[in-house]
Amino acid sequence: MKITTLAETEKSKVNVDGAVNVYKQVPLSGNDGVPLFSFRVFTIEPGGHSPYHSHPFEHLAYIIEGQGVAINEEGEEKELKQGNFVLIMPDEKHQFRNTSQSGPLMFICAVPKEYE
């Protein structure tokens, strides 16, 4: 049994094309021996966003804190707030944007461990 917190988990800036002011942590990861899937947490600072992209694996997400939008395949903005659960299917184009002027948008983003 592992019990941990974000405060105990290494945090690094995401340096990929299209990512702005995004930070990543992996509290439950392949390093812990997870058999199938991992829990990552992304923090997007005000004005920031993830890339608008698709990939061959899914996201199961939970909004821990903050306000934002998810952009869907059609380019539509869908409101996100604390307590939302979000499913992005494999190959579905998507983006997460922080729409707050002041606070971070933080969410769990679980993926198959090969893609953590």
Q: Which residue, 19 or 59, has its beta carbon nearer to its own copies?
A: 59
**Dist. CA 12–CA 76, nearest whole Å:** 29
The count of other CB atoms within 10 Å of the CB of residue 18 is 12
φ/ψ of 91, rounded to 5, equals 70, 10
| 109 near its own copies, rule: CB under 8 A | no
Interface with its own copies in residues 54-83 (CB under 8 A): 57-58, 60, 62, 70, 72-73, 78, 80, 83
Q: Nearest approach, Cβ of 5 to its own copies (angstroms)?
A: 6
Degrees to nearest 5, angle at CA 69 with 5 and 41: 20
In angstroms, what is the minimal distance from the CB of 85 to its own copies? 4
Give the x/- contact pattern for its own copies in 24-53, rule: CB under 8 A. Answer: ---xx---xxxxxxxx--------------
Residue with tokens 């930070």: 23
Q: In angstroms, give the least distance from the CB of 81 to its own copies.
A: 9
Q: Is 22 in the site for its own copies (CB under 8 A)?
A: no
Secondary structure string (H, E, C) spanning 46-80: EEEECCCECCCCCEEEEEEECEEEEECCCCCEEEE
- Residues 37 and 21: their CA atoms lie apart, in Å, by 25
User: Residues interacting with its own copies, by CB under 8 A?
Assistant: 1-6, 27-28, 32-39, 57-58, 60, 62, 70, 72-73, 78, 80, 83-90, 92, 94, 108, 110, 112
